[in-house]
Structure 1
Amino acid sequence: MTLLRTILARRPWRREFLAWSMVLGASLLVLVFLVLAREIIEGETHRLDDAILTALRTPGDPSVLIGPAWLTKVMTDITALGGVTVLTLITTLVTLYLVLARAERTALFLVVSIVGGWGLSNLLKIGVGRPRPDLVPHLVEVHDLSFPSGHAMLSAIVYLTLGALLSRLETRKRLRFFFMATALVLTLIIGLSRIFLGVHYPTDVIGGWCAGLAWASLTWFAAQRLLGWRTATDRPAEGDPDEGTLGAADRMPGHERGSRQ
């Protein structure tokens, strides 16, 4: 038992288990996405989608959301957090921070991951070719195709990637949990806002979440392999190619706290 506990306590073993668990989770999400896409193409989801969209509008006046009058404004503000403008601004600012922190490789990886996710989102939309819902009036302007929801997918990719990045720079578990929980909450409410505003079917949003979570998981796995996603308390190995870039950014929070203590 003592030997087993020693093996389980080793960090490399735990990291490998977590890494391959992420790959397995991504595979399951891709499977769900493919099944959902097939059902949508065959028209099997229309009844449920239409029922949910109708239930969110005032009977007799589908242009008005159920609930308080301020709900439309709240949903409009929330949905902007998943728009291209806001996500591009956040990604640019974080990339600049990483460059200034001499973590150029991490900055490049971040940009490639997010741009790749944006490209994948557009390809998936074209591949399925689902038009926007026309059952209820749209409360914000939209132009492109519907499945998967770009807001749901890209918010999952951007916020979860940034949440993972911030988590690995922090030594305190409660703050790591806070970063990831915040990313998940933002992804959830942005997706829900698209349904409330009538610009996406519920299955569009679910598909976006699945694709975004899968991409973010695979990105995390690739980063661990290519960059070495160390925590703030880890010291880089001698000759580590990231020692002057990624390693410097990793070590700043932990070392600064250590020097103050």
Structure 2
Amino acid sequence: MKSFATALLNKIEFPVLLAGLVIAGGLWGLEELMEVARATTPHAFDTEIMLAFRQAGQPDVPIGPAWLEGAVRDITSLGSTSVLVLLTTAVIIYLLLIRRPTTALLMFVAVAGGQVLSSLLKFEVDRPRPDLVSHLVNETSLSFPSGHAMLSAVTYLTLGSMAARFLPGRTTKTFVLGLAILTTLLVGASRVYLGVHWPSDVLAGWCAGFAWAMLCWLVARFLQRRHAVADSE
């Protein structure tokens, strides 16, 4: 049995194994965080982290210099629906122009599917927005999971992994993927700073977004190996 498991692991490529671990970890984390979100009172780490972004004793005043709030607003807009839809549409049109319709369809399914999944999770958990601190931007939707965190993870990671397929050199690929991850993390952190999400909302968005993006990547890789998606399409 041990030799069989060893042989099986040897046949699995490291990127595929890593993607599988990300999916499993993301689903486990999402399940745990759903329990936190359903609790009648906020978890201690939610309140402590959120208050850490405010001046001591002043829940309406964020930490940092005056320009920081504006900068964080700009960063959070990178995960807004309008920006992500515009970006996704531009990429899909470009892919169609260079005659890669299957890749364009995969991009659409990844982002649109992420949006549907995010909406379903919000209605399932039905968690209201935090009222511990003032909101620095106006939001009316439900809180769990953070749509900005989840959809930025789906969109930027899908774009990053797609771009990495065509870029030369491991260093360039690593840079692009690292930039996608950094953008996703900054967008999520900005939601807590602005007071519109509990930290557990953002963590859940990252868990669901990373898992969904990796699942879509595995599907694209499988189709590529089956010649449905080819570099010379």
Q: Would you call these one fold, judging by a TM-score over 0.5?
A: yes
SS at match of 2:174: helix
How high is the sequence identity, in percent, across the aligned residues?
44
- Out of 215, 227, 248, which is 2:232 matched to? 248
Deviations 1:190-241 (A, max 9, x none): 0000000000001100010000000011111111112339xxxxxxxxxx55
> 2:73 pairs with 54, 71, 76, which one?
76
Residue 222 (structure 1) aligned with residue 187 (structure 2): no
Distance 1:171 1:47, change over 3 A: same
Equivalences for residues 88-99 of structure 1 within 5 A: 88-99=85-96
With normalisation by structure 2, the TM-score equals: 0.90
Task: Give 1:1-12 correspondences, 5 Å limit.
Answer: none
Match of 1:232 in 2: none
Secondary structure of the 2:60 match is: strand
Runs of 4+ that moved beyond 4 A: none
Q: Name 2:4's counterpart in structure 1.
A: none
CA contact (8 A) 1:101 1:248 kept: no
Contact 2:148-2:188 at 8 Å conserved across structures: yes
Task: From 202, 205, 213, give the equivalent of 2:202.
Answer: 205
Task: Provide the rounded CA distance (Å) in 2 between the counterparts of 1:112 and 1:200.
Answer: 27
Distance 1:247 1:174 in 2: 20
Greater shift, 176-185 or 20-29, is seen at 20-29
SS at match of 1:198: coil
SS at match of 2:225: coil
Judge which range, 35-44 or 166-175, deviates more. Answer: 35-44
Match of 1:55 among 52, 56, 62: 52
Matched, 1:142 2:139: yes
Q: Are 2:169 and 1:172 aligned?
A: yes
Give the aligned length.
225
Counterpart of 2:103, as a letter, is T
Which structure's CA Rg is the greater one? Answer: 1
Alpha-carbon distance, 1:98 to partner: 0.7
CA displacement at 1:23 relative to structure 2: 1.9
Aligned to 1:253: none
Q: Deviations over 1:2-40 (max 9, x none)?
A: xxxxx9xxxx956x4422431232012101110111132
1:191 aligned to 2:191?
A: no
Q: Do 1:45 and 1:203's aligned partners in 2 also have CA atoms closer than 8 Å?
A: no
Query: What is the CA–CA distance in structure 2 between the aligned matches of 1:98 and 1:156, rounded to whole Å?
Result: 20
Corresponding residue number in structure 2 for 1:233: none
| Contact 2:102-2:228 within 8 A present in 1 as well | no
Structure number with the bigger relative contact order (C-alpha 8 A, sep ≥ 6) is 2
Q: Which moved more, 1:24-33 or 1:196-205?
A: 24-33
Q: What secondary structure, in the 3-state scheme, does the structure 2 residue paired with 1:199 have? A: coil
Distance 2:176 2:114 in 1: 21
Contact 1:41-1:128 at 8 Å conserved across structures: yes
Query: TM-score, structure 1 length as denominator?
Result: 0.81
SS in 2 for 1:227: helix
Name the residue aligned to 1:133.
Answer: 130
Query: Aligned-pair RMSD on alpha carbons?
Result: 1.9
Q: Does the 8 Å CA contact 1:106/1:227 hold for their aligned counterparts?
A: no
Q: Supply the AA of the counterpart residue of 1:93.
A: A
Q: Which residue of 1 aligns with 2:26?
A: 29
Paired with 1:195 and 1:112, the residues of 2 have a C-alpha distance of: 28
Q: In structure 1, what is the equivalent of residue 117 of structure 2? A: 120
CA distance in 1, matches of 2:228, 2:170: 27
Per-residue CA distance 1:31-63 (angstroms, 9 max, x = gap): 111011113213465322122212211234322
